[in-house]
Structure 1
C-alpha cells in the first residue's frame, strides 16, 4: 500500500481507544438498534408513533423553538392532532398523498407529523422550485390535497391550473405564527389554521395502525430524465434512522438542536429531527441559513447541538472570528459533507467535540455514521455493503474472469454498493424502470442483489469509509443535488441557444461542484456581450438559484462521440481555464448581475479563492 493510501486508515488499536467513550452511550444506542432492526410487518411504528412516545416521556419539555414561538411537546402534539383529525374528516386515508409546500417553520413540521399519524404520505416539495419543475414534482405523486405557505403561494399559483388536484383541496398557512393569528387566506385557498380550530386535539387512533412498509414522505432527488424523481421514504426506513443516527447522537431532555437546513431534505427532516425525538430534546429552527446570525441564534436558543452540511461549515469558517465562536454550549453536530480540509479547523475554532458525519441517500439502503468520532470519515456501517473496483472511463464496475465484481483493498477507492436484504430493502422510486437501472444482480454469487449508490468511496478499514465523489448525471452544489439534464433542458429553452451540456467543475475551497454549461447558439445566431445580463436573468427566472450555471462556455459546435454522446470528459478537464481553449468562457461572479468573460487574471483570482462563491 502506498504512503498516500495509508492516510486516515483506521487500525484496531485506534478503534479500541474509542470504545470507553462509546460505552457511556451504549444503553441508549442498544435501545435504538432494537428499534432500528424491528421489521415486524404488523407492529405500530414510524414518525407519529415516535413523536407520541416523546410526548409521553417529556410532555412539558420544549419541543419547537422558532423566532418568538416556543411550544412544549403537549402543545405541539395538540396542534398536530387537530390537523390530523381535519384530514381524517376529509376522508384521507393510508396510501393517499398530500403535497406540502412550506418553508422551514413550525407549520411545516406540524403538518408532516399530522399526516404521518393518519398514514398519509407527505410529498416534501422543494420550496425553491418554480414553473415546469414545480408542476412536474406535484403531479408526479398525484396528491389528494396541497398544503402551501403564503411565502411560496405565488409560485404555486402560477402553476395551479396545470396541477392534477382538486382545486377545493388547496390549504394555506399565513406567513406568521398561525396559532396566534390565522390570517386571511387569498381567494381560492382554504385557511388551514382557521379550519382546524374546531377539531379535537387528542391523539387519533390511526397512529397505531401505521406500519413498517407504509409511506411516510416523498423526497425529491435529481432525475436523469431532466426532472426530479420522487423517492418513497417509508415509516420503517425512518425508524432505522431514528434507531441508529437518532440514538447514536445521544441527546437528552436538556439538549437543543439548532437546524437551518431545509426540511424538504432528509438530513434535516429525518436525521436531525430523529436525533431530537430520540432524546426528548428541543428543535430550534430558522427559515434559511445565515452565517452572520448563526452563532447569535445558537446563543439565543441555548443550543447544544447543530445540524450541518459541508457548505454551511465552510461559510461559517469564512466569517470573521468573534467572541461568540466558543461562547456557546454546542459540542455535537450531525450531518454530511464535511471536507477533510476544514474538519479540524472547524472543531478547533468553534469548540465542537463530536462531528457525527454520516452517509445516506434518499433512495439508498446503506448508511454510515461516525459512531467512533474519527476525523475525516463518514463513519461505520452495520448494514451489508461492498466497495468494488470501478472503471471511470467505461463508467462500470470491473469484473473478474467469472463475471463477478471485485472488492477494493483497504486504502483504495471504489464504487459503494448496498446489499438488498429484508433488513436493508430498496424502497425505490415512483418509476419502476428507474428501479431496475440502479440494481446490480449476481454481484458476488448467483441471486444476490445490490443497490448502486453511484458514489465513489474509500475503504479505510474496520467498516469505515471516506466519501470521494459522485458519479452520473448529477452533481452537488450549495447543498443541493443538481440534475445536469434538467438544467440542460431549461438552458436550451433560451431563444438563442441550440444545445447545452451541463457538468460540475471544482472551485478551490468550496464544497461540491459548481455548475458549468457549454452552450451552442442556433446556426446564424451569436451570443455577444450585450446578452450577458439577459442570459443570467433568464436562467434565474427559470431555475432555482443553486442550479443556475456559475460558468458558461460558448461553442460554435458541440463535440460528440460516435454514438452522439457529448464529450463531457474534455469539458470537465478544461473547466473554466481560458488558457486551455480558444472559446469564450463566462463566469457569474458573486454579487454581479451579469456574466463576465473569464480572463487569465479572473481565473487566477478564482483559483486563489478571492471570490466567495
Structure 2
C-alpha cells in the first residue's frame, strides 16, 4: 500500500513538473478554438460582440452579472455573538441573467444611437466605477461598433484632457459616483476640446427605463459593425502610464480579447459554472480582459465589487457565490493584514488569480483563506506577452510561468530573457564582437523579450499605443539575436530557473507601481515643476517595509529665495490638485541634481535611498502626513513601517 501511494505521489509530482497531459490538452484547446475565431475574422466578424451574443443564445437563463451594490443608507454594522462584524447588511445583491442583460444592452444601444448619435466610427470614453453600468456601456458600444476607451476615473486636469485628445474621443459617458474629477476638469475640456460631449448619467433612472420591456431595442446590422477589422485591430483602449510622460492608450486587439477568453480562461479553469469576482478596476486589462471576457465566453457569471475592501471582501465573495477571485499583490497582503473573520473561509472560492502575489506569503494566503489554486500571471496592458502559472500543491510557488516541456520548448523560440549591461541595469547588454544580445543564464535577472514574427509588419504581433507610433517603436528592439529580427521589450526584469519556471523580479524604466496603480515618474516630475518652487526633480519608487509596490520618492532642487517649508507647501498645493492620490510623492528630499555624461540623470542611485535618514543617518527626508509634508523622524518611520501611520 505504501509503495502504491508513493508511486501515485511520484506520478503526480512528475505531471506537476512536466505537465505532458496538461500541455497536450492546452494545445488541443488552442486549435479547437483558434480555427473558428480566424474564420470569423475572415468573414468580417472579428468583434467579440458575436462571442457574447453566442453565449446569450446558449445560456439565456444563466446568471450573467452579480453586483453587491453598497447600500446608500446602510444600517449600523452588526456584531455577532462572537464579536465579529457582520457586513452582509451593507450590500444589496443585484443579479442579471444573460437574457435580461442582453435585452438591456439592446435597449441602451437604441438610446445611444438615437438620443446621443453614437455611430460605429466613433471613439467613446467610459468613466465609470465597477458596476453593471460599466458593462452595459461597454457591450452596447461593441454592439454599435464604436471603440470604447476606458478612462481611469481618478485622473483629472491635463492628464485627463490628454487621454481624450490622443484617441479623438467624441463623447464621454460618466458614472455619477465618480464624476468629481471630470467636473473639476470640465472647463479645461470645454476650452481645449469643444467637440467632446460630456454626459453625466442618471444611473437609477436609466436602469428603471432599461427594465421596461416595452422599450425599443437596437441590434446593429452586422454590416455596420466594423467589418474590415482584422484580429490585430482595436477592440478597446486601456490607458497605461507606459514608461515616460503622460498616459498612453494601449490597444486591446480583438486577438487579445479572444486569447484572454479562450486560452487564459481555460488555464484558470473558468467554465459556465464559474463565478468570477473582481474588485480590480474594470478600466484595467486585468479585470476587463482577464475576468469579464473569459467568463462571458463560457456563460459564467461576472461578479463585480464596486471597490476593493479588505474587511468585506470575503463577505462579498460569499454573497455572490464566487468560485474565482482576482488579486494584485497588494490586495493579498491587505487581506492577510485584516483581523480573522468567519467569512474568510465561508465561501465557495477555489481559485485566486492575478499578478504580484509575493512568494513569502503565497502559502499563507492559500491556507488562511482556504484557496486550492493560485493563478499567478505576468502581462501588461500593451504587451503581447502573457505568462501563466496555475499552481496547486507545492510545485511552482512564486512563479509567473509554469508550463510543461512541450509548451516550454515552443515558447523558448519566442520568449527570451536577455542579459543586462552590468554598468547600467536598464540597458540590454550587446556582445562587443557581434553587436547581438545574449540570453541570460539560469537565475540571472534580465529583460523579457518576445519575438515579433514579421519585423516588417510590427502591428501584426505588437499593436502598441493608439495613435503614438513613436512610443510604440520605443518598445521594439531590433538586431537582437540575428540581423534584421525584431523583439518586443517588456520593460521588466524576470529570471528563469533550471525547471524553466519564470519569476518576476522588478520593473525597468521610469514606471513604478503604488496603490495597485502604475505611476509614471516623468509625469510626476513634470507636475513637480509646475509648482514653480523647484529647478528640477527626480522621481523614483522606493520600497517600504510591509508595503506592496514602491512609494513615490522625489529629490528636488529648490529655487533660491524659498525656504524648505514654502517649497514643500507649494509642491503639495499643486500636485494634490493635478495628480491622482496614488501618484503624489510620499517622500521628498532636497538636493542638487547632476546629470551624467550622456545628459541623463542616473536614477539608480536614488532607488537605493535608505530611509528614514539615509546611509549617513543624518539626511533630512520629508514624508506626506495626510495633507502636509513633515520631517521623517525615526518615530514616524517606525509608525509607517508597522502600519500605524498610513501612506
Query: Normalising TM by the smaller chain, what interval?
Result: 0.7 to 0.9
Shift of residue 612, structure 1, vs aligned partner:
5.0
Secondary structure in structure 2 of the residue aligned to 1:76 = helix
Q: Would you say 1:44 and 2:72 are equivalent positions?
A: no
Superposition pairs of residues 339-488 of structure 1, within 5 angstroms: 339-371=358-390, 373=392, 374-380=396-402, 384-391=414-421, 393-394=423-424, 395-400=426-431, 401-421=433-453, 425-429=461-465, 430-461=467-498, 463-488=500-525
Once the two structures are overlaid, the 10-residue window that deviates more, 172-181 or 394-403, is 172-181
Change in 2 beyond 3 A, CA 1:120/1:398: same
Instruction: Select 1:580's aligned residue among 615, 624, 633.
Output: 615
Secondary structure in structure 1 of the residue aligned to 2:628 = coil
How far apart, CA to CA, are the structure 2 residues paired with 1:92 and 1:269?
A: 22
Change in 2 beyond 3 A, CA 1:408/1:36: farther
8 Å contact kept, 1:35–1:243: no
How far apart, CA to CA, are the structure 2 residues paired with 1:36 and 1:148?
A: 33
How far apart, CA to CA, are the structure 1 residues paired with 2:135 and 2:315?
A: 23
1:87-129 superposed Cα distances (whole Å, 9 cap, x missing partner): 4556654443111111211111111122123332111111000
Q: Would you say 1:164 and 2:199 are equivalent positions?
A: no
How far apart, CA to CA, are the structure 2 residues paired with 1:266 and 1:550?
A: 27
Change in 2 beyond 3 A, CA 1:21/1:272: same
How far apart, CA to CA, are the structure 2 residues paired with 1:73 and 1:211?
A: 27
Once the two structures are overlaid, the 10-residue window that deviates more, 36-45 or 358-367, is 36-45
8 Å contact kept, 2:261–2:295: no
How many positions carry a matched residue from both structures?
587
Secondary structure in structure 2 of the residue aligned to 1:362 = coil
Superposition pairs of residues 315-354 of structure 1, within 5 angstroms: 315-354=334-373
Question: Considering only aligned residues, what root-mean-square deviation do their CA atoms show, in Å?
Answer: 3.0
- Report the equivalent of 2:8: none
How far apart, CA to CA, are the structure 2 residues paired with 1:371 and 1:172?
A: 41
- Structure-2-length-normalised TM-score: 0.83
Secondary structure in structure 2 of the residue aligned to 1:552 = strand
Q: Would you say 1:278 and 2:278 are equivalent positions?
A: no
8 Å contact kept, 1:554–1:583: no
How far apart, CA to CA, are the structure 2 residues paired with 1:74 and 1:553?
A: 57
Give structure 2 stretches of 5+ with no counterpart: 1-11, 70-92
Instruction: Select 1:200's aligned residue among 200, 207, 217.
Output: 217
8 Å contact kept, 2:145–2:226: no
Q: Would you say 1:598 and 2:632 are equivalent positions?
A: yes
Change in 2 beyond 3 A, CA 1:487/1:575: farther
Secondary structure in structure 1 of the residue aligned to 2:208 = coil
How far apart, CA to CA, are the structure 1 residues paired with 2:460 and 2:499?
A: 20
How far apart, CA to CA, are the structure 2 residues paired with 1:579 and 1:433?
A: 38
8 Å contact kept, 1:143–1:165: no
Change in 2 beyond 3 A, CA 1:213/1:197: farther
Secondary structure in structure 2 of the residue aligned to 1:77 = helix
Instruction: Select 1:69's aligned residue among 85, 88, 94.
Output: 94
1:313-366 superposed Cα distances (whole Å, 9 cap, x missing partner): 110010011222211110112211111121111011001111111111111111
How far apart, CA to CA, are the structure 2 residues paired with 1:327 and 1:46?
A: 39
Secondary structure in structure 2 of the residue aligned to 1:454 = strand
1:513-552 superposed Cα distances (whole Å, 9 cap, x missing partner): 1111112221121122x77667545432221111111111
- Report the equivalent of 1:80: 105
- Report the equivalent of 2:261: 242
How far apart, CA to CA, are the structure 2 residues paired with 1:18 and 1:351?
A: 25
1:391-432 superposed Cα distances (whole Å, 9 cap, x missing partner): 253332112221111111232221100111269700011211
Instruction: Select 2:562's aligned residue among 525, 531, 536.
Output: 525
How far apart, CA to CA, are the structure 1 residues paired with 2:102 and 2:637?
A: 54
Shift of residue 265, structure 1, vs aligned partner:
0.4
- Report the equivalent of 1:561: 596
Secondary structure in structure 2 of the residue aligned to 1:408 = coil
Shift of residue 165, structure 1, vs aligned partner:
5.1
Secondary structure in structure 2 of the residue aligned to 1:330 = coil
Instruction: Select 1:174's aligned residue among 170, 182, 202.
Output: 202
Change in 2 beyond 3 A, CA 1:446/1:569: closer
- Structure-1-length-normalised TM-score: 0.88
Q: Would you say 1:54 and 2:55 are equivalent positions?
A: yes
8 Å contact kept, 2:374–2:391: no
Change in 2 beyond 3 A, CA 1:48/1:40: closer
Secondary structure in structure 2 of the residue aligned to 1:145 = strand
- Report the equivalent of 2:84: none
Q: Would you say 1:141 and 2:163 are equivalent positions?
A: no
Change in 2 beyond 3 A, CA 1:541/1:388: same
- Report the equivalent of 2:135: 109
Give structure 1 stretches of 5+ with no counterpart: 1-10, 183-192
8 Å contact kept, 1:347–1:353: yes
How far apart, CA to CA, are the structure 2 residues paired with 1:606 and 1:253?
A: 44
1:180-225 superposed Cα distances (whole Å, 9 cap, x missing partner): 268xxxxxxxxxx99x985415464345935423321111111455
Secondary structure in structure 2 of the residue aligned to 1:212 = coil
8 Å contact kept, 1:126–1:220: yes
Change in 2 beyond 3 A, CA 1:164/1:465: same
Shift of residue 453, structure 1, vs aligned partner:
0.7
Change in 2 beyond 3 A, CA 1:329/1:26: farther
8 Å contact kept, 2:120–2:225: no
Once the two structures are overlaid, the 10-residue window that deviates more, 313-322 or 400-409, is 400-409
Secondary structure in structure 2 of the residue aligned to 1:146 = strand
Shift of residue 145, structure 1, vs aligned partner:
1.7
